[in-house]
């Protein structure tokens, strides 16, 4: 005779067998075992404090949960598909270890608030890890920025992928630092919203047992509890917060990856990516491909998809809990795994890449990216800026590929009587950077 399910009182002996494989989540939610054991431990202690369980029963349950955790840590835990999820697997194994008292652990608790608690603990924990990963990448960017500032490396700044104005390389690195600073802030805000316990809501309407949800929250290091029991079991906004912040973070990692791909190409040659973060070609011996940067760029789509998955799951659900919400886990786990891997890869890649200052300097020659400063100088002398803009543009047209210093005085006057030969010095990239005090501003940003 087959064993009846732990929720099988309502069903015949064969009830639910057809759905067993389809509904089981143990294949992916087993990674929540630490959170599940922690939540059960706190719940058992609380039941003892409020007098629902006797002290000896609590001690037996805690001892059994310690053995369950040891088996899970050692990889010897006997997972069983027919027990559907990590919650029932742990409870059944606990009962095998401690006997019938194991069945008392689920008193005043539903899998609805249990799984929500597990996810709160998981999301809060991984958001802290992701923030650390973001800070590590920021440190690598600051290191590159400081080295570039010390060497006073100047590069073309771009708009529309066209040379725009000369900028310090350090300014470019720090732009990404500031993007990541916002990412860290978003993750921190999401972590605050995940810092809440739903336990005590039971299935959706609370429980008649004299539970103390605040005590459970304090035991688990959570800041508070849900005020509404239906919201507690149906809320997955905190997971959406993580996925949303993660998607924006991946946008920034992808943009950085795109620039590293461009900059490492022969056409740019602005950087050399360390061999540890590049691969070769199976047919072309000369190739050095920026595969890590490309994959980071590509993997952004996975995290975007994970966010869209959960948005689609939740958008049509009435209150309170539905099995649809089981789909939050794989999307969340995939996004977290992808984010962790990408942060680690990009951090190593940024920390070890080598800028090629001479190629950046060469790219600035006769690129006219200092022309804005010439227009500004004419405007400062009283010429309307639109006219100054036209004069500077005419200078570029007349010069073509010639160096502006080779223009005769007559040619300068033909462009505009207001042009002076000393104005041509403003076209120098170093002068343009100094005019905006960009090195000083970068130094202040670096602290």
Residues involved in catalysis: 160, 281
Q: List b or e across 189-200, with b for residues whose CB sees 16 or more CB atoms inside 10 angstroms.
A: ebbebbbbbbbb
Cβ contacts of 350 within 8 Å, gap of 6 or more: 137, 140, 141, 144, 256
State CA 69 to chain mean position distance: 29
CB neighbours of residue 354 within 10 Å: 11
Q: Are 183 and 252 in contact (CB under 8 A)?
A: yes
328 vs 310: CA distance, rounded Å: 6
Q: How far, in Å, are 6, 19, 83, 232, 420 from residue 13 at the CA level?
A: 12, 14, 14, 33, 97
| Chain position carrying tokens 């993007």 | 179
What is the distance between the alpha carbons of residues 39 and 60, in angstroms, rounded to a whole number?
Answer: 16
Q: In this structure, what token pair is assigned to residue 111?
A: 């899998």
What number of helices (H) and strands (E) belong to the chain? 18, 6
Sequence-distant (≥ 6) Cβ neighbours of residue 8 within 8 angstroms: 15, 16
Q: Is 253 exposed, middle or buried (0-12, 13-18, 19+ CB in 10 A)?
A: buried
State how far the Cα of 166 lies from the Cα of 152, in Å rounded to an integer. Answer: 12
Q: What DSSP state is assigned to residue 223? A: S
């Amino acid at each position: 005779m087959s064993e009846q399910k732990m929720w099988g009182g309502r069903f015949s002996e064969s009830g639910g067998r057809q759905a067993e494989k389809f509904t089981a989540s143990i294949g992916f939610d087993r990674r929540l075992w630490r959170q599940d054991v922690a939540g059960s431990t706190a719940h058992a202690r609380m039941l003892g404090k409020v007098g629902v369980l006797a002290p000896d029963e609590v001690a037996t349950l805690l001892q059994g949960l310690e053995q369950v955790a040891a088996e899970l840590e050692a990889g010897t835990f006997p997972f069983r598909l027919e027990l559907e999820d990590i919650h029932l697997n742990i409870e059944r194994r606990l009962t095998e270890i401690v006997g019938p008292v194991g069945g008392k652990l689920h008193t005043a608790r539903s899998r609805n608030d249990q799984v929500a608690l597990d996810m709160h603990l998981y999301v809060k924990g991984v958001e802290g890890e992701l923030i650390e990963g973001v800070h590590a990448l920021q440190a690598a960017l600051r290191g590159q920025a400081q080295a570039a500032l010390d060497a006073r490396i100047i590069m073309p700044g771009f708009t529309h992928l066209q040379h725009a104005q000369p900028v310090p390389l350090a300014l470019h690195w720090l732009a990404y630092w500031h993007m990541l600073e916002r990412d860290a802030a978003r993750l921190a805000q999401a972590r605050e919203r995940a810092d809440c316990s739903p336990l005590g809501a039971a299935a959706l309407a609370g429980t008649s047992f004299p539970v103390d949800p605040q005590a459970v929250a304090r035991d688990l290091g959570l800041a508070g509890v849900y005020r509404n029991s239906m919201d507690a079991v149906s809320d997955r906004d905190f997971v959406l917060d993580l996925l949303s912040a993660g998607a924006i973070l991946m946008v920034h990692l992808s943009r950085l990856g795109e620039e590293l791909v461009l900059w490492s190409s022969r056409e740019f040659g602005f950087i050399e990516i360390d061999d540890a973060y590049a691969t070769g070609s199976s047919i072309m011996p000369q190739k050095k491909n920026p595969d890590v940067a490309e994959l980071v760029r590509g993997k952004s789509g996975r995290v975007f998809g994970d966010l869209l998955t959960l948005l689609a799951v939740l958008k049509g659900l009435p209150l309170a809990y539905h099995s649809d919400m089981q789909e939050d886990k794989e999307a969340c786990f995939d996004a977290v795994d992808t984010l962790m891997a990408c942060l680690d890869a990009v951090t190593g890649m940024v920390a070890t890449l080598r800028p090629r200052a001479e190629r950046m300097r060469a790219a600035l020659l006769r690129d006219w990216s200092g022309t804005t400063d010439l227009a500004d100088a004419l405007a400062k002398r009283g010429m309307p800026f639109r006219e100054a803009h036209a004069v500077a543009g005419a200078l570029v047209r007349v010069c073509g590929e010639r160096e502006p210093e080779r223009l005769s005085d007559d040619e300068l006057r033909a462009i505009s009587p207001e042009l002076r030969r000393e104005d041509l010095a403003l076209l120098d990239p170093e002068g343009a950077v100094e005019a905006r005090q960009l090195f000083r501003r970068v130094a202040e940003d670096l602290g």
